[in-house]
Amino acid sequence: MAIASSLLAPTSGLGKELTLKIAVTSDVHGNYFPYNFITRSPGDGSLARVATRVNELRDSLGRDRVILLDNGDILQGQPTAYYYNFIKTDAPHLTARMLKWLDYDAETIGNHDVETGHAVYDRYRKDLGSLPLLGANVIDRTTGKPYLQPYTVLDKNGIRIAVLGLLTPAIPAWLPETLWDGLEFEDMVESAGKWVPYIMENEKPDLLIGLFHSGRDFSKMTGEWRENASLLVAEQVPGFDFIFMGHDHTLFNSTANDKVDSSAVILNPANNANHLAEGNVTFILDDNGKVIGKKLSGQLTSLDDIVPNSAFMAMFDSEKNEILDFVNRKIGTSEGDFSVRDAYFGPSAFMQLLHDLQLTISGAEISLAAPLSFDAIIRKGDLHMSDMFTLYKYENMLYTLEMTGRELKDYLEMSYSLWTDVMNSQDDNLLLFSGLRTAAKGDYAKLLNPSYNFDSAAGINYKVDVTKPQGEKITITSMSDGTPFDFDKIYRVAVNSYRGNGGGDLLTKGAGIPHDELKSRVVSSTDKDLRFYLIKEIEKRGKISPEVVSNWKFIPEDFVKDAVRRDRKTLFGD
C-alpha cells in the first residue's frame, strides 16, 4: 500500500531545497527474520526486508538524509525475542544488536516491551548504547522525572530534527506492578503539552516528530486511562510536523483521511514489519541555510515484494540457527489437532486444553481464559517448543483470585456481549462483527472486539442465550461436578495476569470490582510466565489429546446452527 499526498507550508518560492526521508517501523513483535518461528515456515515482513528498503532509500537520497525510527513492541511476539529476553540472557540482546546494525536513530518503548519486566528492558536499554530508548511519559516515582530519555535531537545536513517519544499510559490496566515497579505513566496529552514548548524553546528544531506507541481511537477508555491518544495529541498539542502511531496494529495515513483535525502528517505502519511508514519532507532554505518553508507528505510502503537483505541475513545467521534449535525442541506428543477456530462457536479442544492446564497449575476451582491467537492450530504429531507460542501467545503470569458467584456471572455477561451479537432471527450473525464500525485492533478487522477478550469458563456448567442482551445472556446451572453454584460463595478462579490487572475491563466493568481492589483479590501468582508452566506440565504428561467438554453452549441450539456455519465462513472462509 503506498498512499502519498503533499502538504505545502507557505514559502517565498525562493531558495534551495533539501529532502529528507523518515522511515518508521512499529509493533515488529520479534519479526526479525523472513521466517515464522511459531509455524516454522517462511514469513512475511521482517527487519530483513526493512533493511533492503532502507538501503534503497539511503542509496537514492544519501545515508545522512534518511532517519530510521522504531515505535516499540519489538521485544515480544516471535520466539526470537523470547529467547533473548529469558533464555540467553548472558549475551547482548539480539534486538539491540540488530537495531544498531541497521543504524536506527531512536526508538520509543512499547507496552509489550514493558511486559518483559525490568530485568529485560533495563538490560536491553543498556545494550542499545547510544541509541536512545524514548518515553517522555514514563516517570520515575522516586525522582518525578522521566525514567527514559524523553526526546532526542538529530542533526541531518544542518537540519535539527526533534523526536518526542510517548507510550500508551494504560500499562497498569494490563501488567502486574512487579513488571513496572517504581514507575508511573502520564497522560499523553498532558505530557506532550509540557514537552513540546520545552523542546521548541530549548532546542529550536526545524522539524518536530512525535513517535507515539499509541493508536488512534481516543473515544474509548481502558480503565481510567486513555489508551489510544495519538490523534488527540495531534489535535490538542500544536507543533508536530509528523506523528507516527503504533499499538493498534492498523494502517493509517492522515493525508488520505480528511476527518483528522491536525496539520501534522500522521502515519501508522501497523505490525510485524509488513509495511514501512515513510514521511517525506523537503525543506526550503534561504541563502544562509535557514529553513524558511517545508513540504510534507506521507506514504505507507508495503514490504511484501521486498527481497530480504542478504548482508543482514548473513550477519545474524548463527543466531537464527540457535533460535531454530530452540523452537524445534520436542516437548511431547499431540494425539490430534487443536484449532482455535472452533473456540468461537462453542466448547473446543483448544480452550479445554488451556483451561485444564490453568486449573492443574493453579489448583483453582474455576478457570477463565480466551483464545489469545486469532487463528492458530496445533497439529497431530510431535509437539515442539514452537507450538507453545501457538497455545499461549503472551508472557502473562497465572493468577488465582477470589470472586463471588455473582461476579463470575456478570464477568461472563460482558465477555459474551463482546463476543456475540443479539440475534433477533435465524438470519442474524452469531458473532459481533465490526461491519461499518471500527474494529478494536487491526488483527481482528472483521470482529468488533479482539478475541483475547472472549473468555469462556471451565469448572461450571452454563448456557449463553444469544437472543438476550448483556445481563440476561448467562444462566449458570451448576458446578461441573454437579454440585450447586452459589452466587454468594467466594470461588478461587484462575486467570492470566493481563485479566487479573484489569485488562479488557471484564473484572472491572463486567464483574464490577473496583480497579484498586483487584490486587487484594489475588491469592497467588506464578513467578514466571504461564507459558513456562504450560511447557513443564506438558513435558510431565508426555502427550495431550483433543477433548471437548461440553460444559457450556449457545442457545437456542437450532436458532444458532446456521449462524455458526455462516459466521465461520465469513471469519475463516471454511
Give the three-class secondary structure for 266.
strand
pLDDT value at residue 259 = 67
- DSSP structural state of residue 137: T
pLDDT value at residue 379 = 95
pLDDT value at residue 97 = 98
Task: Say how far apart CA 172 and CA 197 lie, in whole Å.
Answer: 28
Half-sphere exposure of 22 (CA within 13 A, CB side): 30
Q: Per residue of the chain (574 residues), give pLDDT as tens.
A: 333 333 333 444 457 999 999 999 999 999 999 999 999 999 999 999 999 999 999 999 999 999 999 999 999 999 999 999 999 999 999 999 999 999 999 999 999 999 999 999 999 999 999 999 999 999 999 999 999 999 999 999 999 999 999 999 999 999 999 999 999 999 999 999 999 999 999 999 999 999 999 999 999 899 899 999 999 999 999 999 999 999 999 999 998 766 677 889 999 999 999 999 999 999 999 988 999 999 999 999 999 999 999 999 999 999 999 999 999 999 999 999 999 999 999 999 999 999 999 999 999 999 999 999 999 999 999 999 999 999 999 999 999 999 999 999 999 999 999 999 999 999 999 999 998 777 767 778 799 999 999 999 999 999 999 999 999 999 999 999 999 999 999 999 999 999 999 999 999 999 999 999 999 999 999 998 999 999 999 999 999 999 999 999 999 999 999 999 999 999 998 7
**Phi, psi at 420, each rounded to 5°:** -120, 150
* Residue 11, CA distances (Å) to 65, 279, 281, 284 in order: 22, 20, 14, 7
- DSSP structural state of residue 346: S
Q: CB–CB of 132/162 below 8 Å?
A: no
Q: CB–CB of 567/430 below 8 Å?
A: yes
Give the three-class secondary structure for 297.
strand
Task: Say how far apart CA 324 and CA 38 lie, in whole Å.
Answer: 10
Task: Say how far apart CA 356 and CA 455 lie, in whole Å.
Answer: 14
> Can you spell out the DSSP letters for 386-410?
HHHHHH--S---EEEEEEEHHHHHH
Strand order in the sheet with 381-384: 381-384, 330-334, 543-544
Residues 6+ apart with CB under 8 A from 119: 89
pLDDT value at residue 490 = 98
Instruction: Identify the bridge partners of residue 493 per DSSP, sorted by sequence position.
Output: 366, 401
pLDDT value at residue 5 = 34
Buried b (16+ CB within 10 A) or exposed e, 128-164: beebbbbbbbbbeeeeeebbbbbbbebebeebebbbb
Task: Say how far apart CA 122 and CA 126 lie, in whole Å.
Answer: 6
Task: Say how far apart CA 423 and CA 410 lie, in whole Å.
Answer: 20
Q: Which residue has the cell 535557514?
A: 290
What domains does the chain contain, in order, with CATH numbers?
A: 7-324 (3.60.21.10), 329-572 (3.90.780.10)
pLDDT value at residue 460 = 98
pTM for the model: 0.92
> Can you spell out the DSSP letters for 488-554?
TSEEEEEEEHHHHTTGGGIIIIIT---GGGHHHHEEEE-SS-HHHHHHHHHHHH-EE------SEEE
Q: CB–CB of 24/211 below 8 Å?
A: yes
Give the three-class secondary structure for 57.
helix
pLDDT value at residue 2 = 37
User: Is the preceding peptide bond at 556 cis, omega within 30 degrees of 0?
Assistant: yes
Task: Say how far apart CA 353 and CA 185 lie, in whole Å.
Answer: 36
